[in-house]
Structure 1
Amino acid sequence: MTETLLLAPFWPLLAGSLAVLFARGRLQDLVFVAAPLLALVLVWTVPDGNETVGWLGMVLKPVSPDATARLFGTAFAFAAIAGAVFALDQKSTAERAAVLLYAAAAQGVVFAGDLLSLFVFWELMAIGSTLVIFANGAARAGTRYALMHAFGGVLLFAGVAGSIGDGGIALRPFEADSIASLLILAGVLVNAGAPPVSAWVADAYPRASWSGAVFLSAFTTKAAVAVLIRLFPGESMLIPIGLVMAVYGMVYALIENDIRRLLSYSIVGQVGFMVVAVGIGTPLALGAAAAHAFVHILYKSLLMMAAGAVLRATGTARLTALGGLARAMPATTLAMILGGLALAALPLTAGFVSKSAIMQALAEDHAATAWFLLTAVSAGSLLYAGLRLPWFAMLRPKPGPATAWAAPVSMVAAMAIVAAAILAIGFMPSLLTMLVPAIAGVAVLTPDHILFQIMLLVGALICFAMFLTILAPRAGITVDSDWLWRVAPSLFGRRASAVWRAARLALLPASDAARQENRLLARAWVRMTSDAGNWRTGDIALAATALLGIVLLIAAL
């Protein structure tokens, strides 16, 4: 085994996933936090190179470090560290093992150097994330999630199998001009939350525990972005797909009542920014997509932590049932406000840096339509994340005392770590440009740029004040495309059953004599089958052949 493979960042996470199953108490806590810490160290110490491993006549590159891998690996490891600290009060051994397995697979995806290794880690990531949902007892949501990612995995595998004959299993840029490449693209877009299957994000993530959702928000969709950067840079069809994702995520987040569903829709919308940038495909745009994925992991983790703290403290994440929590949960309130403002790209936050890079890439490519749409979505982001969410969840007055308790020290410490990173990048963009040199030429903290963004956000603030009543949360069920696989099958089944019963009644013999004849025939058949031991050999062979034919027909279907 080569040195590069031995020092791969996923090993300590895999080992940690096994170790927490046997460790208990403080030792388990130590393993839970230490595993991602060691992974972060290995992200930057694993040596460069493309050392290969032979397997079944194929040349594999399980670990292929480069700048993109180290950037995403750093973000994933940091999110896992902060998430582990946040979840120290979560004593579910099953969840801890699942999230470390999930984090290990995410590292494997971004460091993979060939299509086969990528697929293996891709499927392992689906297994780990599914187990995170199952660990909270959400069996039905976990099953739907597993089926959706199995569907995406089948598409990816079919595309990989079809592309091996053209260029082997090496990772390389593809063009969506063949069945194989289109299948690969479709499989990756399923994990990215692209339409028409975007609803799986909001269906699955809120079913995890108050701590599990923090990890879910960090890995799957951003790993898909990393794969798009490697495999489909400059693919033009990604631009309209990303724009639809951005608008879709904003619209549904504006009307959602559940905090974690709101943030899940927001994930889809923000990933849409990255998908558009990948579709532009210039070096600046690809760097901006990677930078925004890094920053998105930070502020979305912070928002999911705040949402988890509220859920843990109050037992609900519904905006209609919340309010007046700012005094009881000041640290959580500040975290929610900062995360929302970073998502809305407020100057001096990390979100302002990465979104500025995306918008400049669009401007340089003369993508006017995309620029205007994403600018509008940025303003809408302030409405749902920077204003609507903290106001109705934490700040609005509510009669009676606040029924919540302050978050434990470990949860507050985790939120403080992530918040510090968001502000550090916001005040010193060079911290991000050191990781992503491609965006180093973007002028971020300039007076005209800051003024434009502040004017945009002030406009959103005025709209919030004017339409406060319309934006108020309402109890109800948000209908989304998941209706097609959650409701439509059972509805169709009930209708089909009713039609069948009506048809049976219409086809039944009308006369008593006919009914009596049917009963006599049934009794005769029962007597004949009960006396099957006396059947002639030819009759038995005929019956067996008929049954075998039926079985083969069912198998063929």
Structure 2
Amino acid sequence: MQSGWWLHPSIFLILGALVIPFLKGTVQQGYRVALALAFIFIVFQTQAGVYGQFSVAGLEFVTGRADKLSLAFAYVFSLITLIATIYSLHVKDNIQHVSALIYAAAATGVAFAGDLLTLYVFWEMMMLASVWLIWRRNTPTAYTAGYRYLLVHAVSGVMLLAGIVLQYGETGSMAFEQMQATGTAFYLILIGFLINAAVPPLHAWLSDAYPESTITGAIFLSALTTKTAVYTLIRGFPGTEFLIWMGVVMALWGVVYAVLANDIRRLLAYHIISQVGYMVAGVGMGTAIALNGATAHAFTHILYKSVLFMGAGAVIHMTGKSKLTELGGIYKYMPLTFVLYMIGAASISAFPLFSGFVSKTMVVEAAAVDKLAWVWLLLSMASAGTFLHTGLKLPYFTFLSKDAGLRPAEAPWNMLLAMGIAAFFCIFIGVYPAWLYSFMPAPVEYNAYSAGHLFWELQLLLFTGLGFFLMLKHLGGERKLSVDTDWVYRKLAPIVVFGISDVVRQSWRGFITAMQKRLGNIWQSMGQTYGSNGPIGQTWSIGLTTVWVVFFVALYGLYILLF
């Protein structure tokens, strides 16, 4: 369907963000909220169709392709932009505000991109904007984590660009549609997307960088990068079977490392990896129910994960502490933060009447329908682990356990308001899932509240909760470091690089020393032969010189006569 003129929401938000540094105080705060509201309005007013279509040198570009799938992601991206903007109203950092909004605009641009080159431009814009949300924390660990984040995503961009070039060479088209597994381009583009989706072993950038980001920047980070990657996988690689098992590995990997985490935002970061695993597995299954489940779970995950990160951020903002071993007993001083956090915890744990229940169970049900028994079982295990750590361990040791002597005030009003808006959607979607299902790319024929689903999920939650309290003394945070795959480029790579450099440096020094010695020997030999004391360097007598001259002149004359 060809459509007419369209104001691209991403362009609108980028241009609006550039005005922010010229405003101050409450005027700037009001402007930022108004800009986010206008962004929501433009996105929700967008009708299905093709926009911004043009050709250059034979290349066809579609800067705006709006359909059910792209609109579902654009809707939730615009909602989280407003929520995160409200959450950050107290922050006075223009670079952070501008970067965050450009980041959100770029993610929305990816969702609307109808061709691969447009997607690539917005993909790289996301990387360049989002890294500032890490660096602006202005700590040494934030700077180094940001550089590593930038390096990993630069690799993702290179892979994607190489794949796009090869894809055009193989097909003559730049259209971003379902990819055919016929050549190198397929795998290069897939790897580029998998890096941003944080699929192990390419995942550690997330748990490395997100805990070091700014408190408000983490809300944008938790919502956008991995979910744009999920969108691109749904669009380009549905039914790619090995993604099923990659998703299962993600779901379990994140849960296992969350067990070991002591930093509250690192624990939540690992659960991003785990929850995205459900989406990736759904993409791999490729059926209508699985793709609807992946899309729905991305939508609900953005909202409930924002509640969790906002709750953790409020604790860090008010206490200055981020480790479970340093927290405890603060529910009396931050009761609203605690209650709102628990709404997000109930959602991610898939409690009935909360949003995670109506989306996560759809992916698990898709595995059951496809008779993938092991996938169903392992995803159910991961769900139990999620409740154990995000729903029980983190809130217990942060808010309820032994008093750590902290006496924080309640979080600022804007933080609570933002958490409240996101928490409302967590409950609203859980109670009325038809609203969410209406956005899905295919008609939804799924009833989350069947007796079987309710019985199984409540049973799973009950026994997980029982296990938590029986093993409570073994589940607290510990002052230890967990080694993940980022060890390869954080520790091993420098050792290897510097080790090779030392070997090369020593070899070069040995070569130079040997050459100097060899040249010295040659020079000494020449001196002995041609020097003043050598046989050739000695002064000849006039008579002997005359004899040799006459001899050579005679030879020359004989040559002339004969030839």
TM-score normalised by L of structure 1:
0.88
Alpha-carbon displacement from aligned partner over 1:200-239 (angstroms, at most 9, x marks no partner): 0011111111111011000000000001111001111111
Do residues 16 (structure 1) and 20 (structure 2) align?
A: no
**Distance between the aligned counterparts of 1:398 and 1:268, measured in 2?**
31
1:8 to partner: Cα distance: 1.7
Do residues 411 (structure 1) and 415 (structure 2) align?
A: yes
Contact 2:248–2:277 (CA under 8 A) maintained in structure 1: yes
**Distance between the aligned counterparts of 1:247 and 1:448, measured in 2?**
24
Do residues 183 (structure 1) and 183 (structure 2) align?
A: no
Q: 1:462 aligns with which of 452, 455, 466?
A: 466
Contact 1:288–1:439 (CA under 8 A) maintained in structure 2: no
Contact 1:12–1:36 (CA under 8 A) maintained in structure 2: no
The equivalent residue for 1:283 is 288
The one-letter code matched in structure 2 to 1:448 is G
Contact 1:48–1:65 (CA under 8 A) maintained in structure 2: yes
Cα distance 1:252–1:164, how it changes in 2: closer, same or farther (>3 A)? same
1:417 to partner: Cα distance: 0.5
The equivalent residue for 1:116 is 117
Whose radius of gyration is greater, 1 or 2?
Answer: 2
1:469 to partner: Cα distance: 2.1
The equivalent residue for 1:489 is 493
Q: 2:437 aligns with which of 433, 439, 443?
A: 433
The one-letter code matched in structure 1 to 2:352 is P
Query: Does 269-278 or 20-29 show the bigger shift?
Result: 20-29
Contact 1:109–1:118 (CA under 8 A) maintained in structure 2: yes
- How many percent identity over aligned positions? 40
Query: Does 386-395 or 55-64 show the bigger shift?
Result: 55-64
Do residues 149 (structure 1) and 150 (structure 2) align?
A: no
Do residues 7 (structure 1) and 20 (structure 2) align?
A: no
The equivalent residue for 1:452 is 456
RMSD: 2.4
Do residues 354 (structure 1) and 359 (structure 2) align?
A: yes
Cα distance 1:282–1:30, how it changes in 2: closer, same or farther (>3 A)? same
**Distance between the aligned counterparts of 1:307 and 1:293, measured in 2?**
21
Alpha-carbon displacement from aligned partner over 1:279-336 (angstroms, at most 9, x marks no partner): 0001111111000000000110000000110110111211110111101111111122
Do residues 322 (structure 1) and 323 (structure 2) align?
A: no
Do residues 203 (structure 1) and 204 (structure 2) align?
A: no
Contact 1:4–1:47 (CA under 8 A) maintained in structure 2: no
Contact 1:202–1:265 (CA under 8 A) maintained in structure 2: yes
The one-letter code matched in structure 2 to 1:93 is N
Contact 1:324–1:394 (CA under 8 A) maintained in structure 2: yes
The one-letter code matched in structure 2 to 1:33 is V
1:35 to partner: Cα distance: 2.1
Do residues 47 (structure 1) and 70 (structure 2) align?
A: no
The one-letter code matched in structure 2 to 1:387 is L
Instruction: Write out aligned runs for 1:389-404 (5 A).
Output: 389-400=394-405, 402-404=406-408
1:151 to partner: Cα distance: 0.1
1:49 to partner: Cα distance: 2.1
Cα distance 1:15–1:386, how it changes in 2: closer, same or farther (>3 A)? same
Instruction: Write out aligned runs for 1:71-110 (5 A).
Output: 71-110=72-111
Contact 2:327–2:404 (CA under 8 A) maintained in structure 1: no
Instruction: Write out aligned runs for 1:247-326 (5 A).
Output: 247-326=252-331
The equivalent residue for 2:67 is 66
Alpha-carbon displacement from aligned partner over 1:248-301 (angstroms, at most 9, x marks no partner): 111011110011111111111100000000000011111110000000001100
**Distance between the aligned counterparts of 2:123 and 2:510, measured in 1?**
53
Alpha-carbon displacement from aligned partner over 1:401-432 (angstroms, at most 9, x marks no partner): x3312101111011111111100111111121
Structure 1 outlier segments of 4+, above 4 Å: 2-5, 493-510
The one-letter code matched in structure 2 to 1:168 is S
**Distance between the aligned counterparts of 2:99 and 2:424, measured in 1?**
27
Contact 1:133–1:142 (CA under 8 A) maintained in structure 2: yes
1:350 to partner: Cα distance: 0.2
The equivalent residue for 1:529 is none
Do residues 384 (structure 1) and 385 (structure 2) align?
A: no
**Distance between the aligned counterparts of 2:502 and 2:444, measured in 1?**
65
1:440 to partner: Cα distance: 2.9
Do residues 344 (structure 1) and 345 (structure 2) align?
A: no
Show structure 2 runs of 5+ residues with no match.
525-563
Secondary structure at 2:301's aligned position in 1? helix
Secondary structure at 2:60's aligned position in 1? strand
Show structure 1 runs of 5+ residues with no match.
522-557
**Distance between the aligned counterparts of 1:98 and 1:258, measured in 2?**
25
**Distance between the aligned counterparts of 1:332 and 1:176, measured in 2?**
48
**Distance between the aligned counterparts of 1:168 and 1:252, measured in 2?**
42
**Distance between the aligned counterparts of 1:193 and 1:468, measured in 2?**
30
1:349 to partner: Cα distance: 0.3
**Distance between the aligned counterparts of 2:334 and 2:133, measured in 1?**
27
Alpha-carbon displacement from aligned partner over 1:164-219 (angstroms, at most 9, x marks no partner): 13150011111334211000000000000011111000111111111110110000
Contact 2:303–2:426 (CA under 8 A) maintained in structure 1: yes
The equivalent residue for 2:375 is 370
The one-letter code matched in structure 1 to 2:35 is A
Q: Aligned residues, how many?
A: 516
Contact 1:310–1:317 (CA under 8 A) maintained in structure 2: yes
Secondary structure at 2:55's aligned position in 1? strand
Alpha-carbon displacement from aligned partner over 1:447-499 (angstroms, at most 9, x marks no partner): 33212111101111111112222211001212111011111123235545676
The equivalent residue for 1:532 is none
**Distance between the aligned counterparts of 2:44 and 2:506, measured in 1?**
68
Contact 1:360–1:442 (CA under 8 A) maintained in structure 2: no
